[in-house]
Amino acid sequence: LSLVGLTLLQLFAIIIFLKGFLLTRQTLDLKGRHYDAWERFPLQNPGHPSPLSNINISTRQPFERLIIILIDALRFDFVTPLPQTSPDQHYLNQVPIIHHLQETQPSASLLFQFRADPPTTTMQRVKGLMTGSLPTFIDAGTNFASSAVGEDHVLRHVSQKYKEIYFMGDDTWVNLFPETFDRENRTFASDSFKMFDLDTVDNRILSHLWPLMEQGVSWEVAIAHFLGVDHCGHTYGPSHPNMARKLKEMNTVLERLVKQVDQDTLLVVMGDHGMSVEGDHGGESVEELMSALFLYSGRNLTLSGERLGYDPSQHPIVSQINLVPTLSYLLGIPIPFGNLGAIIPDI
């Protein structure tokens, strides 16, 4: 009897564990809708002046074109200038273009510390970045077999407004959003799990990106997911000469890319997660959770001359779930229904 009782107790404990720690999240097949700003927030309706003079609502012209550059495992200290204290810190000061744009065009370029929610497998991060939702730990098991996202996501609304959408890089995006990337002549996905290969995926991206940007091809949205930095971290760690090489390559890409950004184009450069001192990522340390988010355009991104009084030497921390409503606002599209984030207040 005691053995039977112990077995039942163990089974009960396993069930409690599965229902508790390994949470699953029910998705809702509901879509975000477009609302008229003055209908929802009538305080500053031009036809009905507000008695509350201290409330100000600002609107902006949506961007006509969008470039998203996702550099996998782009840790925040990879892109901001820092003093080198050790000769093996090969990851420092290799992407100076971002600091240069901040110095020369401060109102048109914004840099944030981009905090991910653990765990930080690429599938979970891409899904969270596009839906504005939080992952569960059991989702990590599906990182190697991504299935299509069933809930509302920002790419669904992007594809309803913009018709010429190009994708290059990590095939996780195609598995998650097959209805968006369904054109073979505009989708150039690559296998993402060849960890010892630092260059093949990135070179294939560039072979499609530069003709698209520089040879008069008609496009509205371009998304590129580079893998070399992440693979270098897994293979060699951040403190290796190959990391300096890959980051310099990304700097060259961005230097060339910003020349294609005009007043109607928004450039988003971001990481999906960081990496540990060993080059891995899961969610145990700040280095693994903190990546970078950089926004740039040919016109001002801030509506005022100040960034909410921030010390310019300190970069604000924003959650990754805030990307979805911010992009929706800048592009003039509905916010996905299940989004949990908020518009980045600097915008």
If one counts the domains in the chain, the total is: 1
Question: Tokens at residue 266, please?
Answer: 């928004």
Which helix (H) or strand (E) element contains residue 10? helix 2-20
pTM over 0.95: no
For 98-133, the pLDDT digits (tens) are 999 999 999 999 999 999 988 788 889 999 999 998
Amino acid letter, residue 97: I
Instruction: Please indicate whether residue 285 or residue 138 has the higher confidence score (pLDDT).
Output: 285
- Residue 269's CATH number: 3.40.720.10
- The answer to whether residue 2 sits within a structural domain is no
Order of strands across the sheet with 265-270?
187-190, 165-170, 221-226, 65-71, 265-270, 290-297, 109-115, 317-319
Of the CA atoms within 13 Å of residue 47, those in its CB half-sphere come to 2
Let me know if residue 158 belongs to a domain. yes
Distance CA 29, CA 267 (A): 30
Q: Which of 134-143, 194-203, 235-244 bottoms out in mean pLDDT, i.e. has the lowest?
A: 134-143
Q: Is residue 44 part of a domain?
A: no
Please report the pLDDT score of residue 297 as a whole number.
Answer: 97
Give per-residue pLDDT as tens, 171-227: 999 999 999 999 999 999 998 778 889 999 999 999 999 999 999 899 999 999 999
Q: How many CB atoms lie within 10 A of CB 214?
A: 12
Looking at the domain assignment, is residue 151 inside a domain? yes
In 164-312, which residue ranges form alpha helices assigned H by DSSP? 172-176, 200-214, 228-236, 241-257, 286-289
CA 29 to chain centre: 23
Residue 84 maps to a domain: yes
Residues 6+ positions from 243 with CB-CB distance below 8 Å: 90, 91, 94, 229, 232, 233, 236, 237
Q: Is residue 23 part of a domain?
A: no
Assigned domain for 284 exists: yes
Average pLDDT value over all residues in the chain? 85
The tokens for 33 are 């809708």
Residues spanned by the domain of 207: 64-305+327-331
- Tell me, yes or no, whether 38 lies in a domain: no
